[in-house]
Structure 1
Amino acid sequence: MSQIERKSKKWYEYKILWLFVGAWIIGVMLSKNRPSTSVESNVNVADIPPGNYSSDNGDAKPDNWSYNENIDRMTSAPKKTAQTVSTNTLDFDFPYNGGTSFTLLVRNAGNGNDVILSCSKCQFIHSFTDTNLLKVRFDENKAESFPFEMSTDHSSDLVFIGSESKFLKKLKKANHLIIGAEFYQEGVRYIDFDVSNFKWEQ
Structure 2
Amino acid sequence: MKKVTKWACMAAVVSMAASACTAPVPKAVAAAPDSIKTAPLPPVTPPLNWTYQEEVDQMTDGKKYFAYCESPTSLDFKFPYDGGSTATLILRHIDDQSDVLLTVSKGQFVGSVLADRTVKLKFDNDAPVEIPYVSPSDGSANAIFLDFKSPLVERLKKAEQLKIEAEFFNEGLVIMDFKTTGLTWER
| TM-score under structure 2 length normalisation | 0.73
Q: 1:166 aligns with which of 143, 151, 155?
A: 151
How far off is 1:127 after superposition? 4.3
What's 1:80 paired with? 65
Confirm whether residue 178 of structure 1 aligns to residue 163 of structure 2: yes
Following superposition of structure 1 onto structure 2, how do residues 122-141 of structure 1 map, counting pairs within 5 Å? 122-128=107-113, 131-141=116-126
Which whole-Å CA distance do the structure 2 matches of 1:161 and 1:127 have between them?
11
CA contact (8 A) 1:108 1:114 kept: yes
RMSD: 1.7
Q: Look up the equivalent residue of 1:138 and give its one-letter code.
A: F
1:136 partner SS? strand
Which whole-Å CA distance do the structure 2 matches of 1:77 and 1:165 have between them?
26
Q: Which runs of 5+ in 2 are unaligned?
A: 1-41
- Residues 143, 87 of structure 1: alpha-carbon distance in 2 compared, 3 angstrom cutoff: same
Q: 1:121 aligns with which of 75, 94, 106?
A: 106
Following superposition of structure 1 onto structure 2, how do residues 49-88 of structure 1 map, counting pairs within 5 Å? 57-59=42-44, 62-88=47-73
- Residues 59, 141 of structure 1: alpha-carbon distance in 2 compared, 3 angstrom cutoff: closer
Number of equivalenced pairs: 146
Q: Look up the equivalent residue of 1:133 and give its one-letter code.
A: T
User: Which is higher, the Rg of structure 1 or of structure 2?
Assistant: 1
Q: Which runs of 5+ in 1 are unaligned?
A: 1-56
| TM-score under structure 1 length normalisation | 0.68
Which whole-Å CA distance do the structure 2 matches of 1:132 and 1:123 have between them?
14
What's 1:28 paired with? none
CA contact (8 A) 1:147 1:163 kept: no
Moved over 2 A (4+): 57-62, 126-130
Higher relative contact order structure (alpha carbons within 8 Å, sequence separation ≥ 6): 2
How far off is 1:89 after superposition? 1.2
Q: Look up the equivalent residue of 1:82 and give its one-letter code.
A: A
Which whole-Å CA distance do the structure 2 matches of 1:121 and 1:198 have between them?
25
Confirm whether residue 155 of structure 1 aligns to residue 117 of structure 2: no
CA contact (8 A) 2:71 2:179 kept: yes
Q: Look up the equivalent residue of 1:64 and give its one-letter code.
A: N
How far off is 1:126 after superposition? 2.3
What's 1:27 paired with? none
- Residues 165, 173 of structure 1: alpha-carbon distance in 2 compared, 3 angstrom cutoff: same
